[in-house]
Homo-oligomer: A and B are copies of this chain.
Amino acid sequence: MAASIIDVAKRAKVSTATVSRALRGLPNVSEVTRERVLRAAEELSYAISPHASSLASGRTGTIGVVLPFVNRWFYSQVLSGIDSVLRANDLDLLLYNLGDARVHERFFARMPLRRRVDALIVLNLPLSAAESDALVSMEVPVAVLGTRVPGCWHVSIDNAQGATTAVRHLINLGHRRIGMITGALGDPRGFTTPIVREHAYRSVLAEAGIPYEPDLEAPGNFGIEEGASAMARLLSLPDPPTAVFAESDLMAFGALRTLTRMGLRAPDDVSVIGFDDHETAELLNLTTIAQPVTHQGELLARQILDALSGASEEPAEVVVPTRLVVRGTTGAARVAGPRTSRDHPGLPDRPEGAGHPDRPGHPGRAAEPPAPRDGTAYDRLPDQHTRTTAR
**CB of A148 within 8 Å of the partner chain:** no
Quick check: is A51 within 8 A (CB to CB) of the other chain? yes
CB distance from A57 to the nearest CB of B (A): 10
Q: Which of chain A's residues 333-387 have a Cβ closer than 8 Å to chain B?
A: 353, 356, 358-369, 372
Known: A70-B83, A366-B235. A114 touches B47 (CB 8 A): yes
User: Which residues of the partner chain B approach A103 to less than 8 Å between Cβ atoms?
Assistant: 87
Separation of A362 and B236 alpha carbons in the complex (Å)? 13
Assess whether A358 is in contact with B95, with CB atoms less than 8 Å apart.
no
Contacts of A73 in B (CB 8 A): 73, 76
Bound-state Cα–Cα, A361 to B50, Å: 65
Asked whether A69 and B80 contact (CB < 8 A) given A49-B115, A95-B95, the answer is yes
Interface pair B261/A224, CB less than 8 Å apart: no
Residues of B within 8 A of A97 (CB): 80, 83-84, 87, 93
In order of increasing CB-CB distance, the 8 nearest A-B pairs are A236-B366, A263-B363, A71-B80, A76-B76, A232-B368, A51-B54, A83-B97, A51-B55
In the complex the two chains form, what is the Cα distance from A227 to B84 in whole Å? 25
A312 close to B (CB within 8 Å): no
Q: What is the 8 Å Cβ interface bit string for chain A, positions 43-82, against chain B (1 contact, 0 not)?
A: 0000111111011000010100000011111011101100
Are B71 and A95 interface neighbours, CB within 8 A?
Answer: no
29 A-B pairs (CB sep. < 8 Å): A50-B116, A51-B51, A51-B54, A51-B115, A52-B55, A62-B94, A70-B79, A70-B83, A71-B76, A71-B79, A73-B76, A75-B76, A84-B99, A87-B99, A87-B103, A90-B112, A93-B95, A93-B96, A224-B280, A228-B368, A229-B368, A236-B366, A236-B367, A254-B283, A257-B283, A261-B368, A262-B362, A262-B363, A280-B280
Q: Does A258 contact B (CB under 8 A)?
A: yes
Docked Cα-Cα span, A170 to B195, in Å, equals 48
Q: Are B359 and A111 in contact (CB under 8 A)?
A: no
Instruction: Give the residues in chain B near A77, CB-CB below 8 Å.
Output: 71
Interface hits, A149-173 → B, CB 8 Å: none
Give the complex CA separation of A369 and B262 in angstroms: 7
B261 contacts A359, C-beta separation under 8 Å:
yes
Which chain A residues numbered 217 to 245 have a C-beta less than 8 Å away from chain B? 224, 228-229, 232, 235-236
Q: Which of A76, A93, A294 has the most CB of B within 10 A?
A: A76
Give the docked Cα–Cα distance between A372 and B96 (Å).
Answer: 37
| Complex CA–CA separation, A284 to B284 (angstroms) | 9
Is there contact, CB below 8 Å, between B71 and A365? no
| Beyond known contacts A70-B76, A262-B369: 16 more, CB 8 A cutoff | A50-B116, A51-B60, A55-B55, A71-B76, A71-B79, A73-B73, A75-B76, A76-B76, A83-B97, A83-B99, A92-B112, A258-B368, A261-B358, A261-B372, A262-B362, A263-B361
* Interface positions of A from 284 to 339, Cβ below 8 Å from B: 284, 294
Among residues of B, the one whose C-beta sits closest to the C-beta of A116 is B50
> What are the residues of chain B within 8 A of A362 when measuring CB–CB?
262-263
- Complex Cα distance, B362 from A97, in Å, reads 42
Partner of A95, one of B55, B72, B83, B263: B83
User: Which residue of chain B has the shortest Cβ distance to A358 in the bound complex?
Assistant: B261
B-contact bits for A205-227, CB 8 A (1 contact / 0 none): 00000000000000000001000
